[in-house]
Chain A
Amino acid sequence: MEALGQAFLAVWGALGFDVDLMARYGPRLLSGLGVTLEIVALAAPLGCALAIPLAVCRLEGGPIARNLALGFSTFFRGTPLLAQTFLVYYGAGQFRSAFETIGLWWLVRDAFWCVILTFTLNTAAYQSEIIRGGVRALPAGQREAASALGLGPFALYARVLLPQALIGGLRPLGNELVLLVKASSIASAVTVFDLLGATRYVYGRTLDFSVYLWAALLYLALVEIIRRAVNAIERRAGRRFAAVS
Protein backbone atom coordinates (compact mmCIF):
# COMPACT_ATOMS: atom_id res chain seq x y z
CA MET A 1 0.00 0.00 0.00
CA GLU A 2 2.85 2.30 1.00
CA ALA A 3 4.69 1.51 -2.22
CA LEU A 4 1.54 2.14 -4.21
CA GLY A 5 1.16 5.54 -2.59
CA GLN A 6 4.79 6.40 -3.34
CA ALA A 7 4.38 5.29 -6.95
CA PHE A 8 1.24 7.41 -7.26
CA LEU A 9 3.05 10.45 -5.87
CA ALA A 10 5.95 9.89 -8.27
CA VAL A 11 3.58 9.84 -11.25
CA TRP A 12 1.79 12.85 -9.78
CA GLY A 13 5.07 14.79 -9.63
CA ALA A 14 6.08 13.66 -13.11
CA LEU A 15 2.80 15.10 -14.42
CA GLY A 16 3.82 18.42 -12.95
CA PHE A 17 1.41 18.55 -10.02
CA ASP A 18 2.15 19.57 -6.47
CA VAL A 19 3.44 16.40 -4.78
CA ASP A 20 3.67 17.92 -1.33
CA LEU A 21 0.05 19.02 -1.40
CA MET A 22 -1.18 15.64 -2.52
CA ALA A 23 0.93 13.82 0.08
CA ARG A 24 -0.50 15.97 2.86
CA TYR A 25 -4.11 16.35 1.84
CA GLY A 26 -4.77 13.51 -0.63
CA PRO A 27 -5.78 11.10 2.16
CA ARG A 28 -8.24 13.68 3.45
CA LEU A 29 -9.94 13.95 0.08
CA LEU A 30 -10.06 10.17 -0.16
CA SER A 31 -11.62 9.84 3.28
CA GLY A 32 -14.12 12.49 2.17
CA LEU A 33 -14.92 10.39 -0.85
CA GLY A 34 -15.42 7.46 1.53
CA VAL A 35 -17.92 9.44 3.60
CA THR A 36 -19.80 10.46 0.45
CA LEU A 37 -20.02 6.81 -0.62
CA GLU A 38 -21.11 5.83 2.87
CA ILE A 39 -23.94 8.37 2.84
CA VAL A 40 -25.19 7.16 -0.53
CA ALA A 41 -24.77 3.48 0.32
CA LEU A 42 -26.85 3.92 3.48
CA ALA A 43 -29.52 6.36 2.32
CA ALA A 44 -30.35 4.78 -1.04
CA PRO A 45 -31.35 1.28 0.16
CA LEU A 46 -32.97 2.60 3.35
CA GLY A 47 -34.94 5.04 1.20
CA CYS A 48 -35.99 2.22 -1.11
CA ALA A 49 -37.17 0.15 1.84
CA LEU A 50 -39.32 3.09 2.92
CA ALA A 51 -40.43 3.95 -0.61
CA ILE A 52 -42.11 0.59 -1.21
CA PRO A 53 -44.68 0.85 1.62
CA LEU A 54 -45.21 4.52 0.69
CA ALA A 55 -45.95 3.59 -2.91
CA VAL A 56 -48.29 0.79 -1.81
CA CYS A 57 -50.10 3.26 0.49
CA ARG A 58 -50.61 5.59 -2.45
CA LEU A 59 -51.89 2.77 -4.66
CA GLU A 60 -53.96 0.67 -2.27
CA GLY A 61 -54.49 2.70 0.89
CA GLY A 62 -57.70 4.24 2.15
CA PRO A 63 -58.17 8.00 2.02
CA ILE A 64 -56.12 8.57 5.19
CA ALA A 65 -53.12 6.43 4.25
CA ARG A 66 -53.19 7.73 0.70
CA ASN A 67 -53.23 11.36 1.72
CA LEU A 68 -50.55 10.88 4.37
CA ALA A 69 -48.25 9.31 1.79
CA LEU A 70 -49.12 12.06 -0.68
CA GLY A 71 -48.37 14.74 1.92
CA PHE A 72 -45.04 13.11 2.77
CA SER A 73 -44.04 12.95 -0.86
CA THR A 74 -45.19 16.52 -1.61
CA PHE A 75 -43.30 17.93 1.36
CA PHE A 76 -40.02 16.17 0.67
CA ARG A 77 -40.11 16.77 -3.07
CA GLY A 78 -41.31 20.36 -2.86
CA THR A 79 -38.76 21.73 -0.40
CA PRO A 80 -34.97 22.07 -0.69
CA LEU A 81 -32.91 19.26 0.80
CA LEU A 82 -30.74 21.88 2.50
CA ALA A 83 -33.78 23.23 4.37
CA GLN A 84 -34.82 19.70 5.34
CA THR A 85 -31.34 18.92 6.61
CA PHE A 86 -31.24 22.11 8.69
CA LEU A 87 -34.75 21.38 9.98
CA VAL A 88 -33.66 17.97 11.26
CA TYR A 89 -30.14 18.89 12.43
CA TYR A 90 -30.82 22.21 14.14
CA GLY A 91 -34.52 21.67 14.83
CA ALA A 92 -34.00 18.42 16.71
CA GLY A 93 -31.88 20.17 19.34
CA GLN A 94 -34.99 21.99 20.52
CA PHE A 95 -36.61 18.70 21.49
CA ARG A 96 -33.62 17.19 23.25
CA SER A 97 -35.47 15.93 26.30
CA ALA A 98 -38.19 14.34 24.16
CA PHE A 99 -35.58 12.54 22.06
CA GLU A 100 -33.73 11.44 25.20
CA THR A 101 -36.96 9.97 26.57
CA ILE A 102 -37.55 7.85 23.48
CA GLY A 103 -33.85 6.98 23.33
CA LEU A 104 -33.15 8.51 19.93
CA TRP A 105 -30.97 11.43 21.02
CA TRP A 106 -27.79 9.68 19.77
CA LEU A 107 -29.33 9.66 16.30
CA VAL A 108 -30.24 13.32 15.95
CA ARG A 109 -27.28 14.63 17.96
CA ASP A 110 -24.81 13.46 15.38
CA ALA A 111 -24.61 15.41 12.11
CA PHE A 112 -23.81 12.28 10.11
CA TRP A 113 -26.89 10.39 11.29
CA CYS A 114 -29.06 13.49 10.81
CA VAL A 115 -27.87 13.56 7.23
CA ILE A 116 -28.61 9.85 6.77
CA LEU A 117 -32.07 10.32 8.27
CA THR A 118 -32.94 13.35 6.12
CA PHE A 119 -31.54 11.91 2.90
CA THR A 120 -33.37 8.62 3.50
CA LEU A 121 -36.69 10.42 3.90
CA ASN A 122 -35.97 12.64 0.89
CA THR A 123 -34.96 9.88 -1.49
CA ALA A 124 -37.84 7.70 -0.24
CA ALA A 125 -40.26 10.38 -1.45
CA TYR A 126 -38.71 10.43 -4.93
CA GLN A 127 -38.32 6.65 -5.15
CA SER A 128 -41.92 6.08 -4.07
CA GLU A 129 -43.11 8.19 -7.00
CA ILE A 130 -40.97 6.14 -9.39
CA ILE A 131 -42.24 2.83 -7.98
CA ARG A 132 -45.85 4.04 -8.00
CA GLY A 133 -45.49 5.12 -11.62
CA GLY A 134 -43.91 1.76 -12.47
CA VAL A 135 -46.79 -0.19 -10.93
CA ARG A 136 -49.39 1.98 -12.65
CA ALA A 137 -47.70 1.42 -15.99
CA LEU A 138 -48.22 -2.35 -15.72
CA PRO A 139 -51.16 -3.82 -17.65
CA ALA A 140 -54.28 -4.68 -15.64
CA GLY A 141 -53.90 -8.29 -16.80
CA GLN A 142 -50.99 -8.73 -14.37
CA ARG A 143 -53.26 -8.10 -11.43
CA GLU A 144 -56.05 -10.26 -12.86
CA ALA A 145 -53.69 -13.13 -13.60
CA ALA A 146 -52.29 -12.97 -10.07
CA SER A 147 -55.75 -13.13 -8.53
CA ALA A 148 -56.74 -15.97 -10.90
CA LEU A 149 -53.74 -17.86 -9.51
CA GLY A 150 -55.09 -17.22 -6.03
CA LEU A 151 -52.24 -14.92 -4.92
CA GLY A 152 -53.01 -12.80 -1.87
CA PRO A 153 -52.37 -9.04 -1.78
CA PHE A 154 -48.87 -9.49 -0.31
CA ALA A 155 -47.80 -12.03 -2.90
CA LEU A 156 -49.36 -9.90 -5.62
CA TYR A 157 -46.96 -7.08 -4.79
CA ALA A 158 -43.94 -9.09 -3.70
CA ARG A 159 -43.96 -11.61 -6.51
CA VAL A 160 -45.75 -9.91 -9.42
CA LEU A 161 -46.08 -6.12 -9.38
CA LEU A 162 -43.01 -4.80 -7.53
CA PRO A 163 -40.36 -6.84 -9.37
CA GLN A 164 -41.71 -5.62 -12.70
CA ALA A 165 -42.13 -2.04 -11.46
CA LEU A 166 -38.54 -1.97 -10.19
CA ILE A 167 -37.15 -3.29 -13.47
CA GLY A 168 -39.29 -0.85 -15.44
CA GLY A 169 -38.12 1.96 -13.18
CA LEU A 170 -34.41 1.09 -13.34
CA ARG A 171 -33.48 4.15 -15.34
CA PRO A 172 -35.30 6.72 -13.17
CA LEU A 173 -34.07 4.91 -10.06
CA GLY A 174 -30.54 5.14 -11.43
CA ASN A 175 -31.08 8.86 -12.06
CA GLU A 176 -32.26 9.19 -8.48
CA LEU A 177 -29.05 7.50 -7.31
CA VAL A 178 -27.03 10.05 -9.31
CA LEU A 179 -29.08 12.87 -7.76
CA LEU A 180 -28.37 11.40 -4.33
CA VAL A 181 -24.61 11.36 -4.99
CA LYS A 182 -24.78 15.02 -5.96
CA ALA A 183 -27.11 15.92 -3.09
CA SER A 184 -24.79 14.23 -0.59
CA SER A 185 -22.54 17.29 -0.91
CA ILE A 186 -25.16 19.14 1.15
CA ALA A 187 -23.90 17.16 4.14
CA SER A 188 -20.89 19.50 4.14
CA ALA A 189 -23.23 22.32 5.20
CA VAL A 190 -23.78 20.60 8.56
CA THR A 191 -20.14 19.91 9.46
CA VAL A 192 -19.91 16.47 7.84
CA PHE A 193 -16.58 15.98 6.07
CA ASP A 194 -17.83 14.34 2.91
CA LEU A 195 -15.95 14.88 -0.36
CA LEU A 196 -17.06 18.51 -0.66
CA GLY A 197 -16.58 19.08 3.07
CA ALA A 198 -13.02 17.73 2.90
CA THR A 199 -12.36 19.80 -0.22
CA ARG A 200 -13.51 22.98 1.48
CA TYR A 201 -11.33 22.14 4.47
CA VAL A 202 -8.25 21.60 2.29
CA TYR A 203 -8.96 24.76 0.32
CA GLY A 204 -9.26 26.70 3.57
CA ARG A 205 -5.83 25.40 4.63
CA THR A 206 -3.96 25.73 1.34
CA LEU A 207 -5.90 28.32 -0.68
CA ASP A 208 -4.98 26.13 -3.66
CA PHE A 209 -7.98 26.29 -5.94
CA SER A 210 -7.05 23.13 -7.82
CA VAL A 211 -8.45 20.97 -5.00
CA TYR A 212 -11.93 21.99 -6.18
CA LEU A 213 -11.12 20.75 -9.65
CA TRP A 214 -9.92 17.40 -8.25
CA ALA A 215 -13.13 17.11 -6.27
CA ALA A 216 -15.12 17.93 -9.41
CA LEU A 217 -13.30 15.17 -11.31
CA LEU A 218 -13.99 12.67 -8.52
CA TYR A 219 -17.70 13.53 -8.52
CA LEU A 220 -17.90 13.31 -12.31
CA ALA A 221 -16.16 9.93 -12.28
CA LEU A 222 -18.53 8.66 -9.60
CA VAL A 223 -21.61 9.82 -11.50
CA GLU A 224 -20.33 8.39 -14.77
CA ILE A 225 -19.61 5.01 -13.17
CA ILE A 226 -23.16 4.87 -11.78
CA ARG A 227 -24.65 5.90 -15.12
CA ARG A 228 -22.77 3.21 -16.99
CA ALA A 229 -23.53 0.57 -14.38
CA VAL A 230 -27.26 1.37 -14.55
CA ASN A 231 -27.16 1.21 -18.36
CA ALA A 232 -25.46 -2.19 -18.21
CA ILE A 233 -27.92 -3.54 -15.63
CA GLU A 234 -30.84 -2.22 -17.65
CA ARG A 235 -29.58 -3.96 -20.79
CA ARG A 236 -29.22 -7.26 -18.94
CA ALA A 237 -32.59 -6.95 -17.21
CA GLY A 238 -34.21 -5.92 -20.46
CA ARG A 239 -32.83 -9.01 -22.18
CA ARG A 240 -34.19 -11.31 -19.50
CA PHE A 241 -37.47 -9.48 -19.53
CA ALA A 242 -37.78 -9.77 -23.29
CA ALA A 243 -37.03 -13.50 -23.13
CA VAL A 244 -39.90 -14.05 -20.70
CA SER A 245 -42.57 -12.10 -22.52
Chain B
Amino acid sequence: MENLPTLLSFGAAGWGDELLAGVGVTLALALATLPLGLGLGLAVTLAKASRRRSLRAFGEAYTTVFRGLPELLTIVVVYYGGQILLNAALARIAPGTSVQIGGFAAGVAALALVFGAFASEAMLGALHGLPRGQMEAAAALGLPPSTAFRLVALPQLWRLALPGLSNCWLVLLKDTSLVSVIALTDLMRQTTVAAGATKQPFIFYLVACLAYLALSLLSGRVSDWLQRRADRGMATAGR
Protein backbone atom coordinates (compact mmCIF):
# COMPACT_ATOMS: atom_id res chain seq x y z
CA MET B 1 0.00 0.00 0.00
CA GLU B 2 2.95 2.30 0.71
CA ASN B 3 3.77 2.51 -2.99
CA LEU B 4 0.36 3.84 -3.97
CA PRO B 5 1.74 7.05 -5.55
CA THR B 6 4.13 4.98 -7.71
CA LEU B 7 1.42 2.54 -8.73
CA LEU B 8 -0.85 5.33 -9.89
CA SER B 9 1.83 7.60 -11.34
CA PHE B 10 1.94 8.46 -15.01
CA GLY B 11 4.60 7.13 -17.37
CA ALA B 12 6.22 3.73 -17.69
CA ALA B 13 6.42 2.92 -13.98
CA GLY B 14 2.85 3.66 -12.98
CA TRP B 15 -0.61 2.83 -14.23
CA GLY B 16 -2.11 6.32 -13.96
CA ASP B 17 -1.99 7.07 -17.67
CA GLU B 18 -3.36 3.65 -18.63
CA LEU B 19 -6.27 4.06 -16.23
CA LEU B 20 -6.95 7.57 -17.48
CA ALA B 21 -6.98 6.28 -21.06
CA GLY B 22 -9.47 3.68 -19.87
CA VAL B 23 -11.65 6.43 -18.41
CA GLY B 24 -11.47 8.12 -21.80
CA VAL B 25 -12.69 4.99 -23.60
CA THR B 26 -15.46 4.50 -21.03
CA LEU B 27 -16.64 8.10 -21.49
CA ALA B 28 -16.36 7.89 -25.28
CA LEU B 29 -18.42 4.71 -25.24
CA ALA B 30 -21.14 6.27 -23.08
CA LEU B 31 -21.18 9.54 -25.03
CA ALA B 32 -21.30 7.74 -28.39
CA THR B 33 -24.19 5.61 -27.14
CA LEU B 34 -26.21 8.55 -25.80
CA PRO B 35 -27.45 10.19 -29.05
CA LEU B 36 -28.11 6.80 -30.65
CA GLY B 37 -29.98 5.59 -27.58
CA LEU B 38 -31.97 8.82 -27.27
CA GLY B 39 -32.99 8.64 -30.93
CA LEU B 40 -33.95 4.99 -30.58
CA GLY B 41 -35.84 5.75 -27.37
CA LEU B 42 -37.79 8.56 -29.02
CA ALA B 43 -38.66 6.37 -32.00
CA VAL B 44 -39.87 3.58 -29.72
CA THR B 45 -41.84 6.08 -27.63
CA LEU B 46 -43.62 7.37 -30.72
CA ALA B 47 -44.26 3.78 -31.80
CA LYS B 48 -45.82 2.97 -28.42
CA ALA B 49 -47.98 6.11 -28.52
CA SER B 50 -48.97 5.46 -32.13
CA ARG B 51 -52.53 4.88 -33.31
CA ARG B 52 -51.33 1.93 -35.39
CA ARG B 53 -51.68 -1.29 -33.47
CA SER B 54 -48.72 -2.97 -35.21
CA LEU B 55 -46.40 -0.12 -34.24
CA ARG B 56 -47.62 -0.24 -30.66
CA ALA B 57 -47.04 -3.99 -30.49
CA PHE B 58 -43.56 -3.54 -31.90
CA GLY B 59 -42.75 -0.86 -29.31
CA GLU B 60 -44.01 -3.01 -26.45
CA ALA B 61 -42.14 -6.08 -27.66
CA TYR B 62 -38.93 -4.10 -28.06
CA THR B 63 -39.18 -2.70 -24.54
CA THR B 64 -40.05 -6.06 -22.99
CA VAL B 65 -37.09 -7.78 -24.63
CA PHE B 66 -34.38 -5.22 -24.01
CA ARG B 67 -35.52 -4.30 -20.52
CA GLY B 68 -35.80 -7.94 -19.56
CA LEU B 69 -32.53 -9.31 -20.93
CA PRO B 70 -29.40 -9.04 -18.83
CA GLU B 71 -27.19 -6.32 -20.33
CA LEU B 72 -24.23 -8.68 -20.38
CA LEU B 73 -26.21 -11.16 -22.50
CA THR B 74 -27.31 -8.41 -24.89
CA ILE B 75 -23.72 -7.29 -25.33
CA VAL B 76 -22.44 -10.81 -25.98
CA VAL B 77 -25.30 -11.60 -28.37
CA VAL B 78 -24.82 -8.38 -30.34
CA TYR B 79 -21.07 -8.88 -30.50
CA TYR B 80 -21.06 -12.50 -31.68
CA GLY B 81 -24.49 -12.57 -33.29
CA GLY B 82 -23.91 -9.32 -35.17
CA GLN B 83 -20.73 -10.80 -36.53
CA ILE B 84 -22.51 -13.93 -37.75
CA LEU B 85 -25.44 -12.00 -39.26
CA LEU B 86 -23.24 -9.47 -40.99
CA ASN B 87 -20.97 -12.12 -42.46
CA ALA B 88 -23.94 -14.19 -43.59
CA ALA B 89 -25.33 -11.13 -45.34
CA LEU B 90 -21.95 -10.34 -46.84
CA ALA B 91 -21.53 -13.88 -48.10
CA ARG B 92 -24.62 -13.38 -50.27
CA ILE B 93 -23.53 -10.04 -51.66
CA ALA B 94 -19.84 -10.63 -52.03
CA PRO B 95 -18.80 -14.26 -51.38
CA GLY B 96 -15.40 -14.79 -49.86
CA THR B 97 -15.20 -11.55 -47.93
CA SER B 98 -15.68 -11.21 -44.20
CA VAL B 99 -15.75 -8.35 -41.72
CA GLN B 100 -14.87 -8.07 -38.08
CA ILE B 101 -17.06 -5.93 -35.84
CA GLY B 102 -15.00 -3.99 -33.35
CA GLY B 103 -15.70 -4.17 -29.65
CA PHE B 104 -16.48 -0.47 -29.59
CA ALA B 105 -19.10 -0.61 -32.33
CA ALA B 106 -20.73 -3.72 -30.86
CA GLY B 107 -20.68 -2.10 -27.41
CA VAL B 108 -22.32 1.08 -28.67
CA ALA B 109 -24.98 -0.90 -30.56
CA ALA B 110 -25.82 -3.15 -27.59
CA LEU B 111 -25.86 -0.35 -25.03
CA ALA B 112 -27.98 1.84 -27.32
CA LEU B 113 -30.55 -0.96 -27.65
CA VAL B 114 -30.79 -1.22 -23.86
CA PHE B 115 -30.75 2.55 -23.32
CA GLY B 116 -33.49 3.00 -25.93
CA ALA B 117 -35.76 0.56 -24.07
CA PHE B 118 -35.38 2.29 -20.71
CA ALA B 119 -35.42 5.80 -22.17
CA SER B 120 -38.65 5.09 -24.04
CA GLU B 121 -40.34 4.33 -20.71
CA ALA B 122 -39.21 7.69 -19.31
CA MET B 123 -40.27 9.51 -22.49
CA LEU B 124 -43.65 7.76 -22.64
CA GLY B 125 -44.37 8.92 -19.09
CA ALA B 126 -43.41 12.46 -20.12
CA LEU B 127 -45.59 12.24 -23.22
CA HIS B 128 -48.58 11.32 -21.06
CA GLY B 129 -47.70 14.22 -18.76
CA LEU B 130 -47.98 16.68 -21.62
CA PRO B 131 -51.35 18.48 -21.47
CA ARG B 132 -53.53 17.80 -24.53
CA GLY B 133 -54.24 21.51 -24.88
CA GLN B 134 -50.64 22.12 -25.92
CA MET B 135 -50.90 20.27 -29.21
CA GLU B 136 -54.44 21.57 -29.76
CA ALA B 137 -53.23 25.14 -29.24
CA ALA B 138 -50.38 24.52 -31.69
CA ALA B 139 -52.88 23.20 -34.25
CA ALA B 140 -55.11 26.22 -33.63
CA LEU B 141 -52.12 28.46 -34.38
CA GLY B 142 -51.86 26.69 -37.72
CA LEU B 143 -48.55 24.91 -37.03
CA PRO B 144 -48.14 21.78 -39.14
CA PRO B 145 -47.93 18.62 -36.98
CA SER B 146 -44.20 18.12 -37.46
CA THR B 147 -43.41 21.73 -36.53
CA ALA B 148 -45.74 21.54 -33.55
CA PHE B 149 -43.98 18.39 -32.37
CA ARG B 150 -40.55 19.94 -32.77
CA LEU B 151 -41.28 23.36 -31.23
CA VAL B 152 -44.07 22.66 -28.76
CA ALA B 153 -43.99 19.04 -27.64
CA LEU B 154 -40.29 18.18 -27.76
CA PRO B 155 -38.96 20.94 -25.45
CA GLN B 156 -41.58 20.10 -22.83
CA LEU B 157 -41.02 16.39 -23.31
CA TRP B 158 -37.35 16.98 -22.61
CA ARG B 159 -38.12 18.80 -19.37
CA LEU B 160 -40.52 16.12 -18.12
CA ALA B 161 -38.38 13.18 -19.19
CA LEU B 162 -35.10 14.57 -17.90
CA PRO B 163 -35.20 12.98 -14.40
CA GLY B 164 -35.85 9.57 -15.94
CA LEU B 165 -33.27 10.08 -18.65
CA SER B 166 -30.64 11.13 -16.10
CA ASN B 167 -31.24 7.81 -14.39
CA CYS B 168 -30.83 5.99 -17.70
CA TRP B 169 -27.54 7.79 -18.25
CA LEU B 170 -26.23 6.71 -14.83
CA VAL B 171 -27.19 3.12 -15.61
CA LEU B 172 -25.51 3.42 -19.01
CA LEU B 173 -22.32 4.76 -17.46
CA LYS B 174 -22.12 1.73 -15.17
CA ASP B 175 -23.14 -0.70 -17.91
CA THR B 176 -20.18 0.36 -20.04
CA SER B 177 -18.03 -1.69 -17.66
CA LEU B 178 -19.69 -4.82 -19.06
CA VAL B 179 -18.26 -4.13 -22.50
CA SER B 180 -14.83 -4.98 -21.07
CA VAL B 181 -15.83 -8.64 -21.48
CA ILE B 182 -15.72 -8.27 -25.29
CA ALA B 183 -12.22 -6.99 -25.81
CA LEU B 184 -12.43 -3.26 -25.30
CA THR B 185 -9.73 -1.49 -23.30
CA ASP B 186 -12.08 0.63 -21.22
CA LEU B 187 -11.51 1.56 -17.58
CA MET B 188 -12.54 -1.89 -16.35
CA ARG B 189 -10.20 -3.77 -18.69
CA GLN B 190 -7.26 -1.48 -17.99
CA THR B 191 -7.86 -2.00 -14.29
CA THR B 192 -7.84 -5.77 -14.73
CA VAL B 193 -4.56 -5.56 -16.63
CA ALA B 194 -3.02 -3.32 -13.99
CA ALA B 195 -4.29 -5.53 -11.16
CA GLY B 196 -2.85 -8.62 -12.83
CA ALA B 197 0.54 -7.06 -13.54
CA THR B 198 1.08 -5.53 -10.11
CA LYS B 199 -0.64 -8.19 -7.96
CA GLN B 200 -2.50 -5.36 -6.27
CA PRO B 201 -6.10 -6.06 -7.32
CA PHE B 202 -7.70 -4.48 -4.27
CA ILE B 203 -6.14 -1.06 -4.81
CA PHE B 204 -6.79 -0.99 -8.52
CA TYR B 205 -10.40 -2.14 -8.36
CA LEU B 206 -11.01 0.35 -5.58
CA VAL B 207 -9.50 3.13 -7.71
CA ALA B 208 -11.69 2.03 -10.63
CA CYS B 209 -14.77 2.11 -8.39
CA LEU B 210 -13.86 5.62 -7.23
CA ALA B 211 -13.38 6.72 -10.84
CA TYR B 212 -16.86 5.45 -11.75
CA LEU B 213 -18.22 7.12 -8.64
CA ALA B 214 -16.62 10.42 -9.65
CA LEU B 215 -18.17 10.14 -13.11
CA SER B 216 -21.57 9.41 -11.54
CA LEU B 217 -21.38 12.36 -9.16
CA LEU B 218 -20.23 14.64 -11.98
CA SER B 219 -23.14 13.42 -14.10
CA GLY B 220 -25.50 14.29 -11.26
CA ARG B 221 -24.21 17.87 -11.33
CA VAL B 222 -24.66 18.11 -15.09
CA SER B 223 -28.20 16.74 -15.00
CA ASP B 224 -29.13 19.12 -12.17
CA TRP B 225 -27.88 21.97 -14.32
CA LEU B 226 -29.80 20.69 -17.36
CA GLN B 227 -32.94 20.36 -15.25
CA ARG B 228 -32.62 23.93 -13.96
CA ARG B 229 -32.20 25.10 -17.55
CA ALA B 230 -35.19 23.11 -18.72
CA ASP B 231 -37.28 24.40 -15.82
CA ARG B 232 -36.69 28.07 -16.68
CA GLY B 233 -39.93 30.02 -16.35
CA MET B 234 -41.79 27.05 -14.88
CA ALA B 235 -43.38 27.33 -11.47
CA THR B 236 -43.05 23.92 -9.84
CA ALA B 237 -44.40 22.68 -6.54
CA GLY B 238 -41.18 20.97 -5.53
CA ARG B 239 -37.92 22.42 -4.21
Contacts and interface: CB of A to CB of B under 8 A. Distances in A.
SS class, residues of chain A in contact with chain B: helix
B205 A86 contact: yes
Interface string B169-207: 010001111101100000010011001000111100110
A212 B213 contact: no
Contact of A94 (B76, B192, B202): B202
A83 B217 contact: no
B177 A78 contact: no
Interface stretch (B63-71, B123-131, B147-155): B63-71
26 contacts: A75-B209, A78-B170, A80-B212, A82-B177, A82-B180, A83-B208, A86-B188, A90-B202, A91-B206, A94-B199, A94-B201, A182-B68, A184-B70, A185-B70, A186-B178, A196-B76, A199-B73, A200-B76, A209-B80, A209-B81, A212-B73, A212-B81, A219-B68, A219-B69, A219-B70, A223-B68
Contacts of A123: none
A78 B73 contact: no
Contacts of A186: 72, 178
Q: Which of B69, B175, B216 is the most central at the interface, judged by chain A CB atoms within 10 Å of its CB?
A: B69
B205 A83 contact: yes
Interface of B: 64-65, 67-73, 76-77, 80-81, 84, 170, 174-178, 180-181, 188, 191-192, 195, 199-202, 205-206, 208-210, 212-213, 216-217
A86 B195 CA distance: 10
Contacts of A82: 177-178, 180, 188
A209 B174 contact: no
Interface of A: 74-75, 78-84, 86-87, 90-95, 178, 181-186, 188-189, 196, 199-200, 203, 209, 212-213, 215-216, 219-220, 223-224
A7 B84 CA distance: 32
Secondary structure type dominating chain B contacts: helix
A93 B213 contact: no
Given A178-B68, A183-B70, 12 more contacts: A80-B174, A83-B177, A83-B212, A86-B192, A87-B205, A94-B201, A212-B73, A212-B81, A213-B77, A219-B70, A220-B68, A224-B68
Contact of B72 (A78, A79, A90, A185): A185
Given A83-B205, A212-B80, A78 B212 contact: yes
A79 B73 contact: no
What are the 5 tightest A-B residue pairs by CB atom distance, in nearest-first order?
A91-B202, A90-B201, A185-B70, A80-B177, A87-B205
A93 B175 contact: no
B69 to A, nearest CB: 6
Nearest to B210: A79
A91 B201 contact: yes
A79 B70 contact: no
Nearest to A84: B209
A209 B77 CA distance: 9
Contacts of B209: 75, 79-80, 83-84, 87
A223 B195 CA distance: 35
A87 B175 CA distance: 16
Contacts of A188: 72
A86 B190 CA distance: 13
A220 B65 contact: yes
Nearest to B206: A87
B76 A212 contact: yes
Contact of A182 (B69, B200, B213): B69
